[in-house]
């Protein structure tokens, strides 16, 4: 069993309609990078031009919002990641 990434509706056009992807990795960052490798069209939503995580990316891990360096936040098999894009405007 790997780590499950629940794909929000806004990303699903970039994943061919896939709603859940199973990936492997030791950190949230590794898992998100693997998602981008599996579905290259998601890269522009997850990363900026410098290949850093987008400032508009919000992530929850097992239902809890997480912040900080995603490359330093550990995950275990069975964990669930949910990436979200923050929308500006009002």
Q: How far apart are CA 21 and CA 3, in angstroms?
A: 8
Q: Identify the pLDDT of residue 86.
A: 82
* Number of Cβ atoms within 10 Å of the Cβ of 59: 22
Residue ranges and CATH numbers for the domains of the chain are 3-85 (3.10.20.30)
Report the share of the chain in percent with pLDDT over 90.
Answer: 84
Quick check: 11 pLDDT over 60? yes
Q: How far apart are CA 1 and CA 22, in angstroms?
A: 8
- Over residues 8-31, mean pLDDT: 95
Query: 27 - beta bridge partners?
Result: 74
> Backbone phi, then psi, for 32, in 5-degree steps?
-70, -35
- pLDDT classification of 59: cutoffs 50, 70, 90: very high
Instruction: List pLDDT tens digits, range 36-55.
Output: 999 999 999 999 999 999 98
Give the residue with greater pLDDT, 85 vs 35.
Answer: 35
């Amino acid at each position: 069993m790997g780590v499950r990434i629940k794909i929000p509706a806004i990303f699903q056009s970039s994943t061919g309609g896939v709603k859940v992807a199973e990936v492997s990795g030791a950190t949230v960052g590794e898992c998100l990078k693997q998602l981008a490798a599996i579905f290259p069209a998601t890269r522009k939503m997850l990363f900026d031009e410098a290949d850093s995580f987008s400032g508009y990316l919000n992530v929850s891990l097992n239902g809890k919002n997480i912040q900080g360096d995603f490359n330093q936040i550990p995950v275990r098999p069975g964990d669930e990641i949910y990436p979200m894009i923050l929308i500006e405007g009002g």
